[in-house]
Amino acid sequence: MSSITDDVKNTLTSLLTGAGDIVTVAQNVAKDNIVKAVQGVGSVATAGTSAVSDVIDGGVEALSATGSSLTDGITGLVRGVVAGSKEVGIDTTQAAGQASSTAVHTVSKVGGDVGQAAVSAVDGAIKAAGDVGADAGRVAESAVMGVLKSADEIGSEAGSLVRKALLNAVALPHDIIDAFLTGKTE
């Protein structure tokens, strides 16, 4: 486990105890750690994808260990990772996909609901796109591709669960989700 994963876990664990706003705490910790990781290495290409995965992995593990809401926390983590990525020059679309993929994978490891994790990750990516002025459609597509990739790697049951959760999620833009999952546009 990398030191950034440990840093995120330790920081989030201490801040989440008694925290009222899990989304904001997770978002700020994720953003700060992405920026710190890339600035410490000095190369976006070297640190980018690895830092995104490490921050999400450590964040989800901390949320699980503290009994905090994984759904709220994942939304905040993905928003923070995308915002931090934009700040240091990592492609926000790629960061959203990687963050979403890692969130589903790590939630599966800690025994959480991968369907809810997928919806929260995509929701966080879309909100992040608005926060940083990125193309919400491209960011959403990347996030959906990321969660589906991880879910399918976990197994066919997880893949089906994630697809169903995405299609049934009230908070997500159904035109984008439907078009991506079914290949049909209205």
pLDDT mean by block of 10 residues, the chain; 186 residues: 73 69 87 84 64 92 90 95 92 95 97 96 95 93 94 94 87 69 60
- Tell me the H-state helices in the chain: 3-16, 22-41, 44-66, 70-88, 92-110, 114-132, 136-154, 156-168, 174-182
Judged on CB neighbours under 10 Å (0-12, 13-18, 19+), 21 is exposed
- What is the predicted pLDDT for the residue at 7? 77
- What is the predicted pLDDT for the residue at 21? 82
